Structure 1
Amino acid sequence: MPNINCAGCPNIIKNNEYVQCRICSLSYDIICANLTFKKFCTMSKQSRLDWQCQACLNKRPKADNQNTPVRTTSEAHSDVDLAANSSKPSKRSRFTSPEVDLDMDESKESCCRMANLNELIISALRSEVPKILEGSLIKELEPIKNQISDVLSSIEFINKKYEEMSNLLKSREEDIKQLKSENIQLHNTVKDLHSRLGALEQHSREANIEIHGLPEHRSENLAQTVTLIGKAVSHQIQDGDVLSCFRVAKMNVNSNRPRSVVVKLRSPRCRDAFLAAVWSYNKKNQEKLNTGVIGIGGDKKQLYVAEHLSPENKSLHAATRIRAKELSYKFVWVRNGRIYVRKNESSQPKLINNKDSLCLL
């Protein structure tokens, strides 16, 4: 079957779904013929052969055409003339013909008009539809535009706050750096002051000795006891050598050991002479200095005489002894408020200034 163009659209007709006008012999698809698919399927063969297009139907008179304005003789002539002429054969006007025979030129002109009308409709749709769609889209997108505007405002506000926080954070970082630097300086200052204070505390004890292990009695005379210790170690104590003598509180309250006795002598020289006599006595005698030697009855308790250290130096001295025992250091002693250690007889002594020095052993 050759391709047939629809006289209405003019597209190629497919699937034989078309009808042909009985008058102008032009073919129309069912859409341009204003037929539904269901109605097209139910049409008989004769109905399809008798079908006329809308253009041909519009050119036919609606009735007998007696009252058409084109007809000029309906009211102009009298009844006599009508009667006289009734016997003559009348010519049929082309406006009153029941059927009109159209030639091919008129059919083609009608088709061209339909095609032009379709083009005008399509052109109008092309020009008007975008405007309608644009207006509809603008109306529909207006809330979204407002929401986007709100989101942009929120983002701008957040960005502004972020910049403020960023600047504040930078300022705080600079303040923190400055505070850290000041803290380090203050820490070093406090450390230096602490060291000086410790030195002053120890300096205030430079003429003192401390006696450990001396039993406590209610009626004890500590000054006389110090004199007896001097006699036992062959060191004579003059009346003005002992400035004060007293017991101090225990560092460990739960300890069963008696409180230590602090003796303040006249000068550091007297202190050193007393300590040297005690050290010499313990070295010469197998029986170390004890309570029996100075005439105190009961069980013999060994007496320890040493320099009077400040609380910080006492703590450092105790830590040094523990560390020296762990590392098998043989000697730990105190001289003028300073703590020394030595590995053995042939090694060099090491000064312990603080607890950090213990890590270097």
Structure 2
Amino acid sequence: MSTNKNEIRRCGGCLQALEHSSYLTCSSCSLEYDLHCAGVTPERFSTLTGDHRAAWKCVTCRSRQPKTGNTETPVRAGEGGVTVRRGASRPPAIDIDMDLDESLSDPANQTHDGPQHNIAAVLAGFQTLVAEWRQFRADVRVDLEEVREDLRALRGEMRELVGQERLETLEKEAGVNHAAVSARIGALEARVEATERRRAEAGPDEAEGLRRTVEELKLELNERDQEALLADLDIGQLPEQKGENVIHTVCVLAARLGVPLEERDVVFAERVGAPPAEAGGRARRVVVRLARRHLRDELLRAARVRRGATEGGGRVYVNERLTRSNRQLFHQVRGECRKLQWRYSWTRRGRVFVRRSDGAQVYQIRSPDDFARVFGPQTV
């Protein structure tokens, strides 16, 4: 087989590179095979002549050659796979499905002449092999049972050992935890005693200072909560219907106030409080959060211009959404203004303001403590 100098010669069987000269070339397909794929030992290869090597054919090409019968063959395969010579009597056919134990347990029916003697010997050997196999299986069962018993005993011992170690570990952990808890309880008791001692030693001025500090902290927290509601509205007396779409109802109300509002501009809108006990009862108020703060400011301005929009035959009030503390404070301020005949009270950006009359001074009220300062000592 001619190859280029730069082409790597490869074995036709394993496709590995032929790195030495020990190989054979098929005279039929011209493929080259190393000795392993050719099935030739190095010793046999060294004894092959040039004619033998030139006439050698690979397994694939030899299998493609047509098979021809040879009537002169002295040995042929007979029935049951038993080889007999030409002219010899054929052995009786053996029923493959016959009971094996019966065929093996009746050696008297076998003769000692020719092929029948060979069959009897083979069957007798096979019977011995079956008996040995059965005995081996029985021995294996016994051994397996012993192994299982040993494993069960070993598992029991391991459980006992692990349980004992776990118990000791838990006891150690309980001791450590008990010591830690005792130390923490002791530290807390010491802090409580120190606090009570300082409280007993503190004068009225210090106690008043602490109270004011606490009140200031509460006010700061309330103002931070109010800042989170700067894009929210609180709508009162908006008619309520079963299965309503609250966002759509809010958009319709905004359109009547002259402010274009789409559903995508509303982050959420829901009613708060318990539902009315009976049909036609007082509608729950609606809290709304808008996507942009300027939309909330426009709705507030439009609602204040109309001073109570009408919806479904009733008046609807649109206000800022206040925290619980500011809502209670605003309710108290409005009651005080009605009692003292102050004309104005309102909220802006969550803060409560009052004014006695037109052109009068505006006051901000942060807590009920400011009532005496703004309305006078008679409110205390």
Using the size of structure 2 for normalisation, the TM-score is: 0.43
Higher relative contact order (CA 8 A, sep 6+): 1
Indicate the structure (1 or 2) with the bigger Cα radius of gyration. 1
> TM-score, length-normalised on structure 1?
0.45
